[in-house]
Amino acid sequence: MQLGMIGLGRMGFNMARRLIDGGHSVVGYDRAPAQVDALRAASGAGAASVEDMVAQLDAPRAVWVMIPAGPPTTQQIEALAGMLSPGDIVIDGGNSNYRDSLRHAEMLKQRGLHFLDVGVSGGVWGYTEGFCMMAGGDPQVFATVEPILKTLAPEQGYRHVGPNGAGHFAKMVHNGIEYGMMQAYAEGFEVLRAKQEFGYDLHGLAELWRHGSVVRSWLLDLAADAFGKDADLAAIKGYVADSGEGRWTVQESIDLAVAAPVITLALQMRFLSRQDESFAAKVVAALRNEFGGHAVVKTGT
């Protein structure tokens, strides 16, 4: 089928290519003209603007928005709302907060437009392996765009998971789980490394565990790759960014009064990784000095 794609970055471009490979027709737009040219080179149709893209699509249209979550996505969806016709479908495949998606769905509905919030997992590997997709919205709208989802996903790798909002909420939790899993592996590898007398080969262990162990997973496959390239991760700084979903998972868990200590700690460890020095640690050091006369380490030493 025919799809408009707004955003031809790392994710959007690979999705467009996979769709084209699968026989779909993609009209793509990106604010970077080079990305549009690249899509044309990959047998897609390029658009000079969102308006141009809309004009090139046959009604009822389906437009996939694949740009940074937050204000950029909201602004783009609001702009689209003014260009589309009743019955058209907007799909947000980005990492939007599900509360935004609930608002977008409501706003579009008031104009007779349909909305699907689709959480997409798979990262840079999606082009070859397929993207795992969690779709929230009306089941009939889902059915309309199912050919697209089927091509993008690996076998059984897409699903209608609930009403609007449910797609992005599920993706949010997925990423929260991912935080916890990554931290679990990370702690384990740090303990192994700290046990210096055993001289562990972390690459070898990661490879070994990939074969038949209880902790085998795709993330472990990636860990094995990473250790294979740089056995001690010497070139990588222990500085971990976070892109929102982990924070949201913790916040939602608090709103729901559900204890999620592992996901939360995984997030907080990222915060700590980004500090040169914890002020809290200074306070504790100062207190120990006050009551116990324990020597503090002076700054600059």
Q: Check binding of 286 to a second copy (CB under 8 A).
A: yes
Angle between helices 202-209 and 166-194 (to 10 degrees): 130
Q: Is the dihedral of CA 62, 63, 66, 68 positive or negative?
A: negative
Tell which positions 227-266 bind a second copy, by CB under 8 A.
Answer: 230, 233-241, 243, 247, 249-254, 256-266
Tell which positions 198-217 bind a second copy, by CB under 8 A.
Answer: 198-201, 204-205, 207-217
Q: Is there a catalytic annotation at residue 187? A: no
The backbone torsions φ and ψ at residue 283, rounded to the nearest 5 degrees and listed phi first, read: -65, -45
Integer CA distances (angstroms), 189 to 222, 224, 254, in order: 14, 11, 30
Tell which positions 65-124 bind a second copy, by CB under 8 A.
Answer: 121-124
Angle between helices 218-229 and 166-194 (to 10 degrees): 50
Tell which positions 158-197 bind a second copy, by CB under 8 A.
Answer: 158-159, 161-163, 165-166, 169-170, 173-195, 197
- The count of other CB atoms within 10 Å of the CB of residue 128 is 10
The backbone torsions φ and ψ at residue 49, rounded to the nearest 5 degrees and listed phi first, read: -160, 170
Task: Please identify which residue in 64, 117, 125, 150 interacts with a second copy, judged by CB under 8 A.
Answer: 125
Q: Which amino acid type is present at position 266?
A: A
Instruction: Tell me whether residue 1 or residue 265 sits nearer to a second copy (CB atom).
Output: 265
The backbone torsions φ and ψ at residue 70, rounded to the nearest 5 degrees and listed phi first, read: 95, -150
Task: Please identify which residue in 20, 132, 141, 149 interacts with a second copy, judged by CB under 8 A.
Answer: 132
Instruction: Tell me whether residue 42 or residue 222 sits nearer to a second copy (CB atom).
Output: 222
Selected catalytic residue, list 51, 129, 146, 178: 178
Cβ at position 288, least distance to a second copy in Å: 7
* H-run or E-run covering 65: strand 62-65
Tell which positions 2-31 bind a second copy, by CB under 8 A.
Answer: 10
Q: Is there a catalytic annotation at residue 178? A: yes
Instruction: Tell me whether residue 111 or residue 294 sits nearer to a second copy (CB atom).
Output: 294
Cβ at position 16, least distance to a second copy in Å: 17
Distance CA 78, CA 83 (A): 9
Tell which positions 139-158 bind a second copy, by CB under 8 A.
Answer: 153-158
* H-run or E-run covering 277: none
Task: Please identify which residue in 130, 142, 148, 245 interacts with a second copy, judged by CB under 8 A.
Answer: 130
Catalytic residues: 171, 178
